[in-house]
Amino acid sequence: MRIITTSTAYPPYYFTQSQIADELASYWQHSVDTAILERLHSRTGVDGRYFSRPLADYRALDTWGKANNVWIETALDLGERTIECLIQQSGIDRAQIGAIFFVSVTGVASPSIDARLVNRLKLSPRIRRNPIFGLGCVAGAAGLARAADYVKAYPDQYAVLLAVELCSLTWQRGDVSVANLISTGLFGDGAAAVLIAGEETPDAKSGPRILDHAQVFYPDTEDVMGWDISEKGFQIVLSPDVPSVIRDNLGRDVDQFLAAHHLTRADIGCWIMHTGGPKVLEASEDALGLERGALAVSWQALRRVGNLSSASVLVVLDDVMKQHRPAPGTKSILAAMGPGFCCEMLLIEW
């Protein structure tokens, strides 16, 4: 099971953190203390983010249906660009793609986005489609694991994982809770895709190899992260307990996962972690006993594009693949955590 190539794509609208805070302060001028809003936004570790529309256009997206229509339009555009990039970078025939896994938690469509992309990209009519909704931030890692399972079962085939998250389209303009104020300063829009090859394909000897993966579910933690969904759309659920859950569980779970392969944390030369936010990254560093700088690529991705939910860990993977590729033989842990609450981990060898 090999990761052949990766790609990312973003909408054309990029705004600095101060521009976004100014727009929200204008909208919430009678409901929110501007100083508090600016302080919360300044602590997210984000310099700027991509959005699906110009900031002024969001005021007209006053129903879930209007926002979701923009989600469909933008998701199709970004999905087409990322998958086309995979095909061009790898040189494979698009008819060779045996399965497509699509993950998102910021919009809904039926037919799903993957079905519409089969038509747009002229993919095989026999392709196996796997749309996955609801996993949130963990879905990038979980989708990669599910795609790896597919090519393990069908080793002569390729699979594509596509993650599209358009978090700006979930903004709740009537919600001035601290959780929503933080989310409007943290989450952005973007997409990432990964091409995975089975061991009997012509690419079986190139690219990092997925050795194994595991998911750990934490009982009775449903209220830690997720959405409250109503006629208004997606309202953020973001508990201050998230860093504590990470500190209490991540180190132990990674140790148990590595021990099954007769490895320890000392054997891991590269950590590819979800960019949940400063508190999430700090909690991950603490839980794993990592020196500051070990998650530098994740911190850089957070600063550059914000938290992209499921796409975040794949953006970090893309950066590692293209700019920080480890030496052959180096082992990595790719991990993300999300609603459930749960953790997905993959062991990768370069």
The answer to whether residues 158 and 179 belong to one domain is: yes
CA distance 30 to 173: 12
The answer to whether residues 29 and 160 belong to one domain is: yes
Contact 225, 136 (CB under 8 A): yes
Tally of domains in the chain: 2
Terminal C-alpha separation, the chain? 12
Contact 215, 17 (CB under 8 A): no
Any idea what the CATH number is for the domain that residue 29 is in?
Answer: 3.40.47.10
Q: What does the pLDDT look like over 118-159, one tens digit per residue?
A: 999 999 999 999 999 999 999 999 999 999 999 999 999 999
Question: What whole-number percentage of the chain has pLDDT above 90?
Answer: 77
For residue 240, being part of any structural domain is answered with: yes
Of 146, 162, 197, the residue that ends a domain is 197
The pLDDT-based confidence of 34 (bands split at 50, 70, 90) is confident
Active-site choice (85, 137, 167, 342): 137
pLDDT at residue 115 greater than cutoff 80: yes
- Average pLDDT in the chain: 93
For residue 119, being part of any structural domain is answered with: yes
Quick one: pLDDT at residue 19?
Answer: 94
Packed helices 34-42 and 17-27: angle between N→C axes, nearest 10 degrees: 150
Amino acid symbol at 37: L
CA distance 208 to 330: 9
Q: Catalytic residue at 85?
A: no
For residue 241, being part of any structural domain is answered with: yes
Q: What does the pLDDT look like over 304-345, one tens digit per residue?
A: 999 999 999 999 999 999 999 999 999 999 999 999 899 999
Type and span of the H or E element at 16 = strand 13-16
The answer to whether residues 345 and 307 belong to one domain is: yes
Quick one: pLDDT at residue 297?
Answer: 97
Q: What is the extent of the structural domain holding 275? A: 209-349
Q: What angle do CA 335, 339, 342 make, to 5 degrees?
A: 45
Q: What does the pLDDT look like over 237-282, one tens digit per residue?
A: 777 788 899 999 999 999 999 999 999 999 999 999 999 999 999 9
For residue 294, being part of any structural domain is answered with: yes
Q: Is 65 exposed, middle or buried (0-12, 13-18, 19+ CB in 10 A)?
A: exposed
CA distance 251 to 66: 42
The answer to whether residues 90 and 123 belong to one domain is: yes
The pLDDT-based confidence of 117 (bands split at 50, 70, 90) is very high
Contact 10, 82 (CB under 8 A): no
Q: What does the pLDDT look like over 43-63, one tens digit per residue?
A: 889 999 999 999 999 999 989
Residue 64, C-beta contacts closer than 8 angstroms, at least 6 positions apart:
231, 232, 233
The answer to whether residues 296 and 158 belong to one domain is: no
pLDDT at residue 38 greater than cutoff 90: no
